[in-house]
Chains A and B, each alone.
Chain A
Amino acid sequence: MDTSSPAAFVNGGLLRMHVGRKVRTVIQVTRSDAGSVMGKSTDGCQLVVRGSPPAPLTSYVEVIGVAENENSIRAELWTNFGDSFDASNYDQLCQLANGELKHLFL
């Protein structure tokens, strides 16, 4: 069993706390190019995700990768999360998972 390299739940605001580390987040895609995707985080920030997204992309996509800086992620894994997704639920989860309940996750 392996608990190394866990990924921290982040939204736009929490990304800066995990720069250089593995993170996971869900974004709502606003623009997608060959090497990167721009999207809105669950707390309304603009994020850039570098990598090769799957095609086609649904509106919401989860990315797991390494945080490059406070608004960009280098993605290793992409998962289409569909066109309807409860972003506010996920946002609350990010806050809980980074607060005093962090030990359940990281």
Chain B
Amino acid sequence: MFSSSQFEDSSPLAGGGFMSSQLGGSTPSSAREIRDMQGLVPATVKQISEASQSGDEKSSFIIDGVDVANVTVVGMVFNKNSRSSDIRFHLDDGTGRIECIRWVTERLDTGDLDALEDGTYVRVNGHLQTFQSKRQLNAFSVRLVTNFDEVTCHYLECIHFHLQNSKVQSKANEAPDSSFGTPVRGASNGHHPASTNDFSMQYNADGLKSFDKLVLNYLQQPSNIDREMGIHVDELSQQLKSPLEKIKDAIEFLEREGLVYSSIDDYHYKAVEGL
């Protein structure tokens, strides 16, 4: 009844939605397990508005190829409307507005919410749902933001979640965690080519990582092609200002691809010519 094949790519979510993808491999046996494992997904209202729906009876949404039921959003409160059965407001996070509903069971629950003014920053955790073809957030938690680094942090988490799942989707080679784990420092975006001092992994159209290409380019220089004995890996390490291990990994990859070969011994390499 519940097919588990559609959940193959969602294993990165196990563990709360923020974790890295090291938990892969455990495909759950039932859809209900999936929903319990998802945790809270950080998202912008724009992402939510563009999410497709999964169509099964769960009517959950799909963001970046991942089934999402619960999200966490940070934004400002507007148009708050308190009624006896519920409190409604619009949450504006700068990327769009979404209606949030906090159902009232006991008056005590919502003491905080009563005092909320327009323009106040809150974090809303809630269940995504559709009502009369409008997307809404059924909020189970609305909390005031007191430290505004939380606002910056939330958007970075949205970016991180997105990149994490785009990486899984495109089935690219595994990049070391350090390049995406610290999006704040040292991350180069797609518009700037990687400099020789910046080794965050970018992918060129032909599937070679930038660093591999650096090594290859060095070996392909005419002056180096002419060197019969080849280039020692230590020289590569020195010239490219990179640790030996990294050079060796790149060489290993390039050798497998048939782009370089070892010359006089296992430490000297040359680029294959005539490609």
A interface residues (Cβ-Cβ under 8 A, vs B)? 1-4, 6-7, 9, 24, 60, 62, 64, 77, 79, 81-82, 85-86, 88-90, 92-93, 95-97, 99-101, 103-106
Question: A62: which B residues are within 8 A, CB to CB?
Answer: 148, 151
Residues A90 and B94 in contact, CB atoms below 8 Å apart: no
Chain A at the B interface: SS class: mixed
Report the contact-size class of chain B (Cβ under 8 Å from the partner). 35 or more
Question: B149: which A residues are within 8 A, CB to CB?
Answer: 85-86, 89
B interface residues (Cβ-Cβ under 8 A, vs A)? 44-49, 76, 90, 94-99, 119, 121, 134-136, 147-149, 151-153, 155-156, 158-159, 162-163, 183-185, 187, 189-191
Residues A77 and B119 in contact, CB atoms below 8 Å apart: yes
Interface hub of B99, B183, B184 (most chain A Cβ within 10 A): B184
Question: B156: which A residues are within 8 A, CB to CB?
Answer: 89, 93, 96
Question: B46: which A residues are within 8 A, CB to CB?
Answer: 3, 6, 103-106
Q: Which 7 A-B pairs have the closest CB atoms?
A: A3-B96, A99-B189, A81-B148, A100-B190, A2-B97, A92-B184, A7-B94
Known: A62-B148, A96-B187, A96-B189. Is A1-B95 also a contact (CB below 8 A)? no
Question: A82: which B residues are within 8 A, CB to CB?
Answer: 147-148
**A98 nearest in chain B by CB position:** B189
Known: A1-B135, A96-B187. Is A90-B152 also a contact (CB below 8 A)? yes
Question: A1: which B residues are within 8 A, CB to CB?
Answer: 45, 48-49, 96-99, 134-136
